[in-house]
Chain A
Amino acid sequence: MKLLRAILVRLATMSVTLIGAAVVVFFVIRVVPGNPIAMMLPPGASEEDIARLTAHYGLDKTIFQQFGIWLSGVFQGDFGTSISLRQPVMPLVLGRLPATLELAIFALVIAVVIGGALALTGVRHRETRTETAVDVANGVGLSIPDFLWALILIVLFGVLMPIFHISGRISPSLDLPFVTQFYVFESLFRLRFDLWWDLLKHMFMPALALAIPLAAIISQLLKQSLKETMHLDYVTLSRTKGYSENHVILSEALPNAVLPTLTLIGVQFTFLIGGTVIIERLFSYEGLGNMAIDAVINRDLPLIQGIVIVFALLFTIINLVVDMTYALLNPRLRHA
């Protein structure tokens, strides 16, 4: 009963968040200057043409009427038609979402592996030069933003040592059997490791660029909280039982020290997804972020709205997952 109630409360707050995001984006993109009709017509189009096209997309109505029409469509699953691509918005957005999700998850995995390894190394060799080296690495990782890492990586592994692909999601020459848009998962499922490897070679640099700053944050926070945990009485007690330093760190300190890091990863992961917008552009990666930039340039109002709603939904789901994981790992919260 309690659980059911908690879930219902959670769903209610999620819908409020989504409606809030919808309202904000709908009105903001209509208030800022620039309109999609001007982008579509050639210079010197007649007043008549402009008026006809404006009426066609319903942009002649008041902003509140437009909102009403859009919202009633949304509740029926119709997010409108993209102005620039002349296709229904939702299939377009959902077609691109898997590419971005795969990129973001790959980046998250890289960040957790690198950040976790750095933190553990730093704690295992605390108060030595190794820890200082970890601190320096964290500092460098944090102080350079993801898009700059992207350029650095392109120079290193795209130009000087061309071992990774610098553009696109998959080599166009390959024969593509995919029925879903989750190429990485599907290629594994089909045991097509050649495709899988090609996908990874495309994803590696954008994912790493997104991952480095997050890895640095994870490493810094996890190392700090591990170091604090290492001084706690139950850790000291487990040393007297005859356990090695590695065991003490991994099985006594880590499960407790990881909790604050987990919350941070949740928050930072949403930033990382925000970061995909620019990174996808830099690597011509055909994801949602790249589509978002085109939508903004073309003032494609329905498409922008659709993308923002999907991003907002993604963020609320991530928060939910983080909270659930946290409760699962922390017995003190489980009964609350």
Chain B
Amino acid sequence: MSAFLTVHNLSAVLHGFDQRVLRSVSFSIDTGEVLGLVGESGAGKSMIGKAILGILPSAISIIEGEILLDGQDLQKMKPADRRRLIGATAALIPQDPLTALNPSRRIEPQITNRLVDILGWIKSDARVRAMELLNEVHIDNPERVMASYPHELSGGMRQRVLIASAFAANPKLVIADEPTTALDVTVQKQILRLIRELQARHSTAMVFVTHDLGVVSKVCQRLSVLYGGKIIENSSVPDFFQGPKHAYSRALLAATPKYTDPDASLLPVDEAVIEAVAAEVLAADKEWRHGA
């Protein structure tokens, strides 16, 4: 089976700065597979998702590499075609359900608008589909929710709506950008189960961006650890949790809070490890410059 999404040698820079913020990132995902992108804040994990979906901030631009979505090179497409391809085949589950819904619009059009405006569905069909989806995300009274405004729903409900909206057009690729970070712990578990459920049912390829290794162990098959916009380690999930190869990955795993060991949990990642991984990233940069 060929990969649905391939990112090859992707580098990006922040305008006005010499250093890259994404450093020759490569990975690929097959249909039905979930890849976790893990790293600390600022490691560039969300940025990869944004680059794929074409929503990088204007101050960041891609300088090299390819993103192949369904076999088509996004960088080489016309902007309008790229937009349509992404809208038809990919979807985003955003981080913060409180800000990701348009406050002045009812829920129904926010689920169905892609179907109607981009994919040319009839309104009544889109409405039936929205009902179906809201059932799939276990919302008991879909009619009422569809007629509501975002401010009338709880955070958990809104995230369900956003998940329903993401899966509306049967996307082949879903990018989940820390979808549970803004939710409280009990809701987190429900939402996580829900995302996994829908991903499995629709056998969607998924990029799961998170800083939480616990979440990765539950949702993903493979993971990539990022530091400074560079992939430090690629691994299958079982292998990783048995023993990560890279020292930084080990340190990251050790930093995960454990209820059984409350004192150890608050130790930050060892400085020596950080220095080593930073040096590694810089060395790779030097090599890249020589190559270029």
Interface residues of chain A, those whose CB is within 8 Å of chain B, are: 127, 232-234, 236-244, 247, 252, 255-256, 329-332
Contact = CB atoms under 8 A, between A and B. Distances in A.
A239 B92 CA distance: 10
A242 B91 CA distance: 10
Contacts of B99: 232-234
B117 A240 contact: no
B179 to A, nearest CB: 12
B102 A242 contact: no
Nearest to A258: B104
B87 A331 contact: no
B36 interface: no
A234 B117 contact: no
Contacts of B100: 233-234, 237
Given A240-B90, A242-B114, A234 B102 contact: yes
B200 interface: no
A256 B149 CA distance: 13
B87 A237 contact: no
Contact of B113 (A233, A241, A329): A241
Contact of B104 (A236, A237, A242, A331): A331
13 contacts: A232-B99, A233-B94, A233-B100, A237-B162, A238-B102, A240-B54, A240-B55, A241-B113, A242-B87, A255-B102, A329-B104, A331-B104, A331-B151
A136 to B, nearest CB: 21
Contacts of B151: 331-332
Give the one of B87, B99, B102 with max A CB within 10 A. Answer: B102
A241 B111 CA distance: 10
A243 to B, nearest CB: 7
Contact of A241 (B87, B95, B96): B87
A173 to B, nearest CB: 51
B86 A127 contact: no
Contact of B96 (A233, A239, A329): A233
A302 to B, nearest CB: 48
A255 B110 CA distance: 14
Contacts of B101: 234
A244 B80 contact: yes
A130 B87 CA distance: 29
Nearest to A330: B104
B138 interface: no
A328 to B, nearest CB: 11
A128 to B, nearest CB: 10
Contact of B103 (A238, A242, A256): A256
Given A240-B86, A242-B83, A332-B151, A256 B102 contact: yes
Nearest to A127: B58
Contacts of A332: 103, 149, 151
B88 interface: yes
Among A240, A252, A255: residue with most chain B CB under 10 A: A240
A243 B83 contact: yes
Contacts of A329: 104
Most chain-B CB neighbours within 10 Å: which of A232, A242, A329?
A: A242
B53 interface: yes
Contact of B87 (A233, A236, A240, A330): A240
Nearest to B57: A231
A236 B55 contact: yes
A240 B102 contact: no
Contact of A237 (B58, B92, B117): B92
Contacts of B102: 234, 238, 252, 255-256
A140 B95 CA distance: 42
B104 A256 contact: yes
B189 interface: no
B63 interface: no
B84 interface: yes
Given A234-B101, A256-B103, A332-B149, A240 B96 contact: no
A233 B92 CA distance: 11
A241 B80 contact: no
Contact of B149 (A232, A238, A331): A331
A240 to B, nearest CB: 5
Interface string B119-156: 00000000000000000000000000000010100000
Contact of B88 (A237, A242, A244): A242
Given A233-B99, A331-B149, A332-B151, A241 B114 contact: yes
B267 interface: no
B118 interface: yes
Nearest to B102: A234
Closest 9 CB pairs of A and B: A242-B87, A242-B118, A241-B114, A233-B100, A233-B99, A234-B102, A331-B149, A240-B92, A240-B53
Contacts of B114: 241-242
Nearest to A126: B58
Contacts of A330: 104
Given A256-B104, A332-B151, A244 B83 contact: yes
A234 B105 CA distance: 11
A331 B94 contact: no
A243 B87 contact: yes
B94 A242 contact: no
B94 A237 contact: yes
Contacts of B113: 238, 241
Given A239-B55, A240-B55, 13 more contacts: A127-B58, A233-B94, A233-B95, A238-B113, A240-B86, A241-B117, A242-B87, A242-B118, A243-B87, A247-B117, A255-B105, A329-B104, A331-B104
B91 A240 contact: yes
A240 B90 CA distance: 8
